[in-house]
């Protein structure tokens, strides 16, 4: 039983019920009362208020315990809308969605290059938002989310973003919030891909996972106890700085880590359409196996997902065999091959949904 500030308690109870309707709906008021241990009058009042506000709506009636049919409730998908962006293959893909992430409209922004000024690149994002606002007014937009190819620290400052260098050092969230009066979330693209994949595919089975991204850039997302783990300087998952051997320990490392320098040789060759020799493939897979081994020793996740250049299902089997020779077989995580980047959008939408379902700080935006 919660005690304290009545207004805070009511907000907490409302968030709890809203989350439950989102996760379990269609659901009856009696079911909600049983699952939350809240009184029936409290549940009745909150559900009625949510229905009056348009956030939830009635669904089909459900048979009750004594033969009576009871009204069931679900989230009204049209009550909340999100505008989401995800940077992919040199451009921003943008969507206007309903609450559940169903696409209402989409747009691709292709003007980004290393020479774009902040005014040009930021203006292109704002132009896309303004076009979506012609379809849904700002009053219907509950959150704006962006997945970007750079690091976003605890203060919201963007860094290490070679694809859009004019954003380096910018607090992008504040720039957008000044223009649009809605919650704004900006996060690293790989970390959002991790959140999206975990929530869509693994959350019912696992507590912990790692996603490895191996392409033009390297990065990883880490889920611990169902929360995104970023580290105290948001550096967790930057496995390009791992030291697999001692060959780089005497060198000065700056924008690239020693492992990233090595992996890039194989990635760049593959991206140019060149065929890796069998010896190169073996060394490439050895490096990936070493990365997985290191993550397994430190975190011991149940699953590791891989989205990477020159990695197919056959390669996953070979990599697994290599890992099994380095650590006990029982400790080897499930290895999953990701074949598309759609989970990035899922992750942005997860962040936006959390902003709607929890108005008070019971949900940590760092660990959706």
φ/ψ (deg, to 5) at 181: -80, 55
φ/ψ (deg, to 5) at 115: -100, -5
Residue pair 55/75 in contact by the 8 Å Cβ criterion: yes
- Cis peptide bond upstream of 26, omega within 30: yes
Exposed (0-12), middle (13-18) or buried (19+): which is 330, by Cβ within 10 Å?
exposed
How far apart (Å, rounded) are the C-alpha atoms in residues 257 and 314?
A: 28
How far apart (Å, rounded) are the C-alpha atoms in residues 285 and 269?
A: 15
How far apart (Å, rounded) are the C-alpha atoms in residues 280 and 356?
A: 48
* Cα dihedral 309, 310, 314, 320 sign: negative
- Joined tokens for residue 35: 């699952």
Measure Cα distances from 138 to 5, 82, 180, 233, 271 in Å: 31, 10, 8, 33, 41
Write the pLDDT tens digit of every residue in 140-190. 999 999 999 989 988 899 998 888 999 999 999 999 999 999 999 999 999
- For residue 248, what pLDDT band results from cuts at 50, 70 and 90? very low
**207 or 19: which leads in pLDDT:** 207
pLDDT number for residue 361 = 36
- For residue 76, what pLDDT band results from cuts at 50, 70 and 90? confident
Residue pair 303/209 in contact by the 8 Å Cβ criterion: yes
How far apart (Å, rounded) are the C-alpha atoms in residues 274 and 268?
A: 9
**152 or 262: which leads in pLDDT:** 152
Mean local confidence (pLDDT), 289-303: 96
φ/ψ (deg, to 5) at 73: -130, 150
Mean local confidence (pLDDT), 235-240: 87
Write the pLDDT tens digit of every residue in 89-108. 788 999 999 988 999 999 99
Q: Which residues are registered as beta bridge partners of 81?
A: 98, 141
CA atoms within 13 A on the CB side of 229: 16
How far apart (Å, rounded) are the C-alpha atoms in residues 311 and 272?
A: 15
Identify which of 343, 351, 49 has the alpha carbon closest to the alpha carbon of residue 186. Answer: 351
Domains and their CATH numbers in the chain: 6-75 (1.10.10.10), 81-192+343-357 (3.30.420.40), 201-337 (3.30.420.40)
Q: What share of the chain is helix, strand, coil (3-state, %, to 5)?
A: 40, 20, 35
How far apart (Å, rounded) are the C-alpha atoms in residues 196 and 346?
A: 4
pTM: 0.83
Q: What is the DSSP string of 93-157?
A: EEEEEETT--EEEEEEE----TT--HHHHHHHHHHHHHHHHTTS-GGGEEEEEEEESSEE-TT-B
| E runs forming strands in 22-80 | 27-28, 56-58, 62-63, 69-70, 72-75
Identify the three-state secondary structure at position 188.
strand
Mean pLDDT for all residues in the chain:
87
| Contact partners, residue 106, CB within 8 Å, separation at least 6 | 93, 94, 95, 96
Percent of the chain with pLDDT over 70: 89
Residue pair 117/102 in contact by the 8 Å Cβ criterion: no
CB atoms within 10 A of CB 48: 13
Best-predicted range by mean pLDDT (7-11, 54-58, 362-366): 54-58
How far apart (Å, rounded) are the C-alpha atoms in residues 106 and 95?
A: 4
- Cis peptide bond upstream of 125, omega within 30: no
Identify the three-state secondary structure at position 91.
strand
How far apart (Å, rounded) are the C-alpha atoms in residues 148 and 188?
A: 5
Where is average pLDDT lowest: 2-6, 163-167, 304-308, 346-350?
2-6
* Strands 334-337, 303-308: pairing kind: parallel
Mean local confidence (pLDDT), 350-357: 82
């Amino acid at each position: 039983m919660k005690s304290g500030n009545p207004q805070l308690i009511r907000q907490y109870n409302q968030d709890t019920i809203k989350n439950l309707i989102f996760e379990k709906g269609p659901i009856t008021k009696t079911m909600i009362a049983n699952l939350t241990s809240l009184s029936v009058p409290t549940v009745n009042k909150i559900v009625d208020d949510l229905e009056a506000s348009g956030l939830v709506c009635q669904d089909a009636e459900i048979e009750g315990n004594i033969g009576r049919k009871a009204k069931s409730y679900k989230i009204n998908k049209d009550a909340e809308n999100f505008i989401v962006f995800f940077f992919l293959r040199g451009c921003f893909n943008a969507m206007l969605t309903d609450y559940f992430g169903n696409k209402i409209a989409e747009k691709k922004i292709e003007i980004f290059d290393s020479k774009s000024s902040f005014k040009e690149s930021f203006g292109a994002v704002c132009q896309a938002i303004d076009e979506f606002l012609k379809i849904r007014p700002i009053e219907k937009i509950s959150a704006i989310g962006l997945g970007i190819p750079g690091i976003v620290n605890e203060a919201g400052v963007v860094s290490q973003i070679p694809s859009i260098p004019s954003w380096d050092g910018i607090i992008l969230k504040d720039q957008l919030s000044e223009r649009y009066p809605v919650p704004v979330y900006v996060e690293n693209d790989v970390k959002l891909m991790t959140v999206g994949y975990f929530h869509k595919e693994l959350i019912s089975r696992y507590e912990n996972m790692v996603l490895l991204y191996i392409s033009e850039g390297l990065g990883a997302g880490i889920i611990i106890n169902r929360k995104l783990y970023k580290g105290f300087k948001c550096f967790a998952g930057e496995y390009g700085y791992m030291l697999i051997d001692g060959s780089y320990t005497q060198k000065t490392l700056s924008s690239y880590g020693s492992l990233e320098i090595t992996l890039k040789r194989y990635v760049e060759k593959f991206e140019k359409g060149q065929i890796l020799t069998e010896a190169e493939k073996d060394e490439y897979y050895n490096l990936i196996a070493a990365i997985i081994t290191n993550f397994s020793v430190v975190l011991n996740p149940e699953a590791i997902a891989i989205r990477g250049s020159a990695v197919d299902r056959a390669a996953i089997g070979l990599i697994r065999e290599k890992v099994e020779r380095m650590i006990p077989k029982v400790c080897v995580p499930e290895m999953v091959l990701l074949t598309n980047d759609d989970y990035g959008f899922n992750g942005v939408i997860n962040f936006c949904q959390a902003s709607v379902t929890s108005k008070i700080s019971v949900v940590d935006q760092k660990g959706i």
